[in-house]
Amino acid sequence: MKTSDAPRRSLRHKGTFFIESLIHILGFSSIGFVLLIFLFLIKEGVPAFFEIPFNNIWDTLWYPTFDLFGVLPLLLGSLIITVTAIAIALPLSIATAVLVREIAPSWVREILKPMIETLAGIPSVVLGFLGMTLVSPVIQKLGAPTGLTAFSGALILAYMALPTIISVAEDALDAVPKSYRDAGLSMGATQWQTIWRVVVPAAKSGIITAVMLGLGRAIGETMAVMMVTGNAARMPLTLNSLFQPARTMTATIAAEMGEVAQGSVHYHMLFGIGLILFLLTFIINLIAASTIFKKRQKGGLR
């Protein structure tokens, strides 16, 4: 028996080693792909910061035809649209996640969850078309000079971020132990008090993660934003900037990359914008991760 079992053990050991090696290779390859993308952005984007004067890059005018490459209108346009979108999506998504996990009956939950996840599969160009035909006319009728505004883009981005935030937040609420709910109810709290003062704070870590994923989904969107924001590279510094045309960094890259000569200053500057966007997203995620880590160290998150 021992002699016949030896080949089986050896074969099983080789199979385990092969699977573990494959998992390691796939895991490190994903990290390698990200590094390769970052290195490519550095290779193509960094020359722009040497070819263009510093004052020109951080100027308020983006007119590549006249060698004006100010990225501030693009950066602020991306920020105002993304922040507004998250401000709209956050209360709606958290309320929906609470409804699905804490309030709705199980049969309703089984219907709502697939429907919410299906929304994430709608192509962005379809949402952009709906924004142009349905949202923009309403915005214009409300008094805006044009329906293609930053607020129109924020509404579309909020809709696109909803499925991601709802799904991750619902999973975070589901991970809260049942004993937390039982403890709150046993102390005399109502269901709503237990939800908002016990369950939601206990799931704060997952909810923050959901918001960051939704933020990444919004700030990286291209097609829908390019279709509904008007694509005007202007500084959004006035009170009515939300109801004026704007342009994002992603829309600029998508709209102009096909028209530039490879190796030109304009070409390198578009990659420079991509590098800025990459670093901005990385910094946001890093701040969120460090905030969660600090709160866990202090015992504020479970």
**Contact in structure between 73 and 248 (CB atoms under 8 Å):** no
- Residue 91 is predicted with a pLDDT of 92
- Residue 84 is predicted with a pLDDT of 92
**Contact in structure between 84 and 134 (CB atoms under 8 Å):** no
- Give the other-Cβ count within 10 Å of 117's Cβ: 13
For the domain spanning 54-298, the CATH number is 1.10.3720.10
Rounded to whole angstroms, how far apart are CA atoms 74 and 222? Answer: 13
Rounded to whole angstroms, how far apart are CA atoms 163 and 160? Answer: 7
End-to-end CA distance of the chain: 51
**Contact in structure between 160 and 220 (CB atoms under 8 Å):** no
Q: What is the pLDDT of residues 136-149, one digit of tens each?
A: 899 888 888 888 89
- Three-state secondary structure of 226-254: HHHCECCCCCCCCCCHHHCCECCHHHHHH
Q: What is the pLDDT of residues 185-227, one digit of tens each?
A: 888 888 888 888 888 888 888 888 888 888 877 888 888 888 8
Q: 10-residue block means of pLDDT along the chain (302 residues)?
A: 60 73 83 87 89 86 87 90 92 90 84 84 86 89 85 91 88 86 84 86 84 82 86 84 89 87 88 89 75 61 44
Q: What is the pLDDT of residues 163-186, one digit of tens each?
A: 888 988 888 888 888 888 888 888
Integer CA distances (angstroms), 85 to 21, 82, 137, in order: 42, 5, 19
Angle between helices 72-98 and 204-219 (to 10 degrees): 140
Query: pTM for this structure?
Result: 0.83
